[in-house]
Amino acid sequence: MAKFRTVKSSFWTDSKVVEVFSPEDKYFFLYLLTNPKATQLGIYEFVPKLVAFDMGYSVEAIKVLLDRFENKYGVIKYSKETGEIAIKNYLLHSIVKGGKPVMDCLKKEEKMIKDKSLLEYVAKNVYKDKRLNTTVKEFFDDVMNIEDEDEDDNEDEDDNERIVAYDSLKLKEMVINESVPLPDRGQFQCEWCGNKVSVLENHHFPIPKKMYGKETVHICHDCHKAFHDLEYSKGMGTYRTSTKDIDDLADEMFYELWNLYPKKRGKGSVSQTQRRKLYHIGYEQLVRCIDRYIEETKGLDEQYIKNGSTFFNSGYVDYLDENYTPPINTTKSAVMSFLNNGR
């Protein structure tokens, strides 16, 4: 498969390129951006001998250019130990669209980097730039554990208020300790109390269904009922789900919601912060929002349907339970029914 690398036409009007770069500087920089070893991350193996062969320069000339771009212009970093190069602002321009395929590509390339300090160098220089693609920002959040200092205080405080505290393991222990052994009533054994019953029930554990839990256990009706009775009587306990756990759950929920939405465009524009907001609203509520919007726009041409990014960033709000007003039914049958009832 052919590889493509993006170079914006504004390269030729950039002040540094116009006022500082010599013709050979421009040639060398374009080579750095587009050569066969260039990656989406802008961090890759750099062998002076091979570069000299590709460009038709001597090895000495390449080393001079390399030193100039690193120490004079400050646009690259070169690792002599691993023979790798990192282009400082490459990620601001190399990725036009985001989404899961791009994220997978970035993670794959990240594993191939030998000198991880090069990744830190790139991250520190581009992370706060508003031009950075959302998917790339999420990638750095994941692999570098970077937090946006501008939003830290308010964001974390807000999230801590909404993250559900849940001590599911403690509740389970209480159920088991308080269970009363009963005579065997069937052939299926409860995973918690060990009693044999005729029917087992699926219980979402340790993360409840309302928190979009996926894992389940097979327990008897008595244990299931006792657990939920304790849940409501004891409150939600003291265990606080970590932000990373919430992010993982939010991503999983968002991908399922995305598959339900009819116009799948702009997935990468739905930020991690917004996905958390969607997660706290809840899966079932958002499914209703999608169903309502689909019903309301039934029969419309696709061009009039909101992109997925628009809907999940703000469009869903009008279709939440507390905001939604069903459209007035103006069909002939509805009018006749109103007239008949009015008599």
- Over residues 111-165, the pLDDT tens digits come to 899 998 898 888 888 877 777 888 888 888 776 654 444 444 444 444 443 334 4
pLDDT at position 323 over 90 = no
Rounded Cα gap, residues 297 and 117, in angstroms:
50
Give pLDDT, residue 339. Answer: 58
Rounded Cα gap, residues 142 and 278, in angstroms:
19
pLDDT at position 238 over 60 = no
Strands 84-87 and 188-189, sheet pairing: unpaired
pLDDT at position 343 over 50 = no
Give pLDDT, residue 60. Answer: 94
Give pLDDT, residue 63. Answer: 93
Nearest to 97 by CA among 105, 87, 85, 89: 105
Rounded Cα gap, residues 220 and 326, in angstroms:
41
Q: If you average pLDDT over every residue of the chain, what do you get?
A: 81
Rounded Cα gap, residues 195 and 255, in angstroms:
38
Give pLDDT, residue 294. Answer: 93
Q: What's the pLDDT tens digit per position in 204-222?
A: 887 777 666 678 899 988 8
* Percent of the residues in the chain that have a pLDDT greater than 90, as a whole number: 31
For 249-314, give the DSSP string.
HHHHHHHHHHHHSS----GGGS-HHHHHHHHHH-HHHHHHHHHHHHHHTTT--GGGSPPHHHHHHT
Give kind and range of the element (H or E) at residue 243: helix 243-260
Nearest to 126 by CA among 84, 75, 78: 75
- The DSSP secondary-structure symbol of 165 reads B
Q: What are phi and psi of 84, to 5 degrees?
A: -115, 155
Give pLDDT, residue 164. Answer: 42
Residues whose CB is less than 8 angstroms from the CB of residue 200 and which lie 6 or more positions away in sequence, other chains included: 188, 190, 218, 219, 220
Query: In the structure encoding, which two tokens stand for residue 97, read together?
Result: 């669209």
Q: What's the pLDDT tens digit per position in 157-179?
A: 444 433 344 567 878 888 888 77
Give pLDDT, residue 159. Answer: 42
Higher per-residue pLDDT: 154 or 190: 190
Give pLDDT, residue 86. Answer: 94
- The DSSP secondary-structure symbol of 10 reads G
Residue 314 burial (10 A CB sphere; 0-12, 13-18, 19+): exposed
Query: In the structure encoding, which two tokens stand for residue 238, read together?
Result: 């003291």
- Could you count the other beta carbons within 10 Å of the beta carbon of residue 77? 20
Q: 9-13, 26-30, 187-191, 203-207: which has the highest mean pLDDT?
A: 26-30
pTM above 0.85, yes or no: no
Bridge partners, residue 79, by sequence: 84
Query: In the structure encoding, which two tokens stand for residue 266, read together?
Result: 């702009």
Q: What are phi and psi of 77, to 5 degrees?
A: -135, 135
The answer to whether residues 40 and 106 touch, using CB atoms and an 8 Å cutoff, is: yes
Q: 66-75, 247-256, 328-337: which has the highest mean pLDDT?
A: 66-75
pLDDT at position 101 over 70 = yes
Cα distance from N-terminal residue to C-terminal residue, the chain: 72
Query: 206 preceded by cis ω (within 30°)?
Result: yes
Domain range summary for the chain, segments of one domain joined by +: 9-146, 168-234, 243-319
The answer to whether residues 286 and 257 touch, using CB atoms and an 8 Å cutoff, is: yes
